[in-house]
Amino acid sequence: QVKLVEAGGGSVQPGQSLMLSCTATGLPFKTYVMGWFRQAPGKEREFVASIDYSGRFRAYGDSVKGRFAISRDNAANTVSVQMTQLRPEDTAIYSCASGPGGRGPNGYKFWGRGTQVTVSS
């Protein structure tokens, strides 16, 4: 059974940083693209970042480019996203996903339940 579990969400003030991590079990982790998506209340799911199996190719959503950094540890079956310079508009539920990849949710087969990130003063 495939399971993706996110950790690291919380509440921070604008300008602060937060790191999210996701641990995967039950799948050949190092062969999958790993991605992060987010969804705010009343909004569509938004692509945040993705990283290929080798870790060499990374993609970011326009709204987070330059502020967020995705990484993965294939030995530990984890993918992380370091979020810096957080803004109130980054408030959302963040979910990790695995699959063939891409910027759309349809490119991912397995999903975690998500972790809440709230940015507020």
pLDDT at site 27: 87
Contact (CB, 8 A) for 64 and 3: no
Inter-CA distances, 118 with 4, 44, 52, 58, 121, Å: 21, 17, 28, 25, 10
Q: pLDDT digit of tens for each residue in the chain (121 aa)?
A: 999 999 999 999 999 999 999 999 998 888 899 999 999 999 999 999 999 999 999 999 999 999 999 999 999 999 999 999 999 999 999 999 999 999 999 999 999 999 999 999 9
pLDDT at residue 28 in the model: 85
